[in-house]
Amino acid sequence: MSYIVVYNKDKCTSAAKCMGIHPELWSEDADGKAILIDGKLNAASRRYERVIEDSELEAYKQSALICPSYVIDIVEPASKKSILNINPTKEDEKDKVPVIQASYDSNAEWRMDPKGFFTMKPFPEEGVIRVRYYGEDHALKVVVEGKNAEDIYNTIVREGFVSSLAHAAYVGSELMKVEIALKKRLAYVQDDPLPE
């Protein structure tokens, strides 16, 4: 079975997500917009199109679903209907959804992750971040070393060093602070705000 990838380059916001995960399918123009490799411009619709086969579908689907601007679609050739099964909210309807005021009561809600805990620190001279992972017995188990937050928190999740969503979110947000401290050579103290 074949499908058509339909790409609206006019609306691309240069977020680079598509080419980040699939550089073999997307390249970048001088303005940072994505180019659908081997895509042909449909002059009537002003969309770039490329016919793909089943074997290519998964990679293009991933590109489409990661695009924050919903400018990549995949349609069936006969019906021209999208196969993505998503229903993005239109821009002018986004103010109609409920707003929840965020809050956190650490006394009532904080739970120790049974998998353990982490300490982390930037090492600007070496250009790396090191995260120490301690198990529930408080013994140091392993050091995770990386150059950015994304590599490190994905490694921590992949290795199964966290078991709660709240703890994973904490590690991700704290690692972003470490990455900023590393790049800007700021003093970093875990759980404290970064210096202005």
Q: How far apart are CA 67 and CA 116, in angstroms?
A: 34
Please identify, using beta-carbon distances, which residue of 19 and 156 lies nearer to ligand SF4.
19
Please identify, using beta-carbon distances, which residue of 5 and 149 lies nearer to ligand SF4.
5
Cα–Cα distance list, 125 to 3, 129, 183, 184, 189 (Å): 50, 11, 11, 12, 17
Q: Out of 67, 156, 171, 181, which residue is the one contacting ligand SF4 (CB under 6 A)?
A: 67
Q: Decide: is 15 part of the binding site for ligand SF4 (CB under 6 A).
A: yes
Q: Out of 4, 5, 6, 12, which residue is the one contacting ligand SF4 (CB under 6 A)?
A: 12
Q: How far apart are CA 149 and CA 174, in angstroms?
A: 9
The alpha carbon of 8 is separated from its chain's Cα centroid by a whole number of angstroms, namely 21
Q: How far apart are CA 31 and CA 178, in angstroms?
A: 30
Q: Decide: is 149 part of the binding site for ligand SF4 (CB under 6 A).
A: no
Q: Decide: is 180 part of the binding site for ligand SF4 (CB under 6 A).
A: no
Please identify, using beta-carbon distances, which residue of 17 and 50 lies nearer to ligand SF4.
17
Site for ligand SF4 in 19-58 (CB under 6 A): 33-34
Residues at the site binding ligand SF4, with contacts judged by CB under 6 A: 12-18, 33-34, 67, 69, 71-72
